[in-house]
């Protein structure tokens, strides 16, 4: 298994509070991604990174920000959590971004916003 960890694995928070999710990899892969998975919507890309300090928006980036100060860490921040951000969040990594590249997924973080 690819060395990807996510923390925390579960979190319950209240509307309006800031939340930061962490993704850590030991594979030295260049690309990192944050997805959310919701019933009826599948996996949707929030933000991705193609190198240290190089990030870009995905399909559902509103209300989220990211940072990548080191190759191994990719942080996802909800500045002011809302109930619509209740979801399961997955981090993924990939090596080259080519058409045959494999994305390896972490175990996920289940976030509940009350």
Partner 1 sequence: TQLLEQSPQFLSIQEGENLTVYCNSSSVFSSLQWYRQEPGEGPVLLVTVVTGGEVKKLKRLTFQFGDARKDSSLHITAAQPGDTGLYLCAGRGSGAGSYQLTFGKGTKLSVIP
Residues that bind partner 1 (CB under 8 A): 4, 31, 35, 40-45, 48, 50, 58-59, 90, 92, 94, 96-108
Please, which residue, 30 or 65, has the CB nearer to partner 1?
Answer: 30
Backbone dihedral angles phi then psi of residue 38, each to the nearest 5 degrees: -130, 145
Please, which residue, 17 or 28, has the CB nearer to partner 1?
Answer: 28
Q: How far is the CB of 106 from partner 1 (least distance, A)?
A: 6
Q: Which of 70, 71, 69, 105 is nearest to 89 (CA)?
A: 105
- Other Cβ atoms closer than 10 A to 14: 11
Q: Token digits for 22?
A: 């962490």
Q: How far is the CB of 89 from partner 1 (least distance, A)?
A: 10
Please, which residue, 14 or 56, has the CB nearer to partner 1?
Answer: 56
Please, which residue, 57 or 67, has the CB nearer to partner 1?
Answer: 57
41 Cβ partners below 8 Å, 6+ apart? Answer: none
């Amino acid at each position: 298994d690819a060395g990807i960890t996510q923390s925390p694995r579960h979190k319950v928070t209240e509307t309006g509070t800031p939340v930061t999710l962490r993704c850590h990899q030991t594979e030295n892969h260049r690309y990192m991604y944050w997805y959310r998975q919701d019933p009826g919507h599948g996996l949707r890309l929030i933000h991705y990174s193609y190198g240290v300090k190089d990030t870009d928006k995905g399909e559902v980036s509103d209300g989220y920000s990211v940072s990548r100060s080191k190759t191994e860490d990719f942080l996802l921040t909800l500045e002011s959590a809302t109930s619509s951000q209740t979801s399961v969040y997955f981090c993924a990594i990939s090596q080259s971004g080519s058409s045959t590249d494999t994305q390896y997924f972490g175990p996920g973080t289940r976030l509940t916003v009350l």
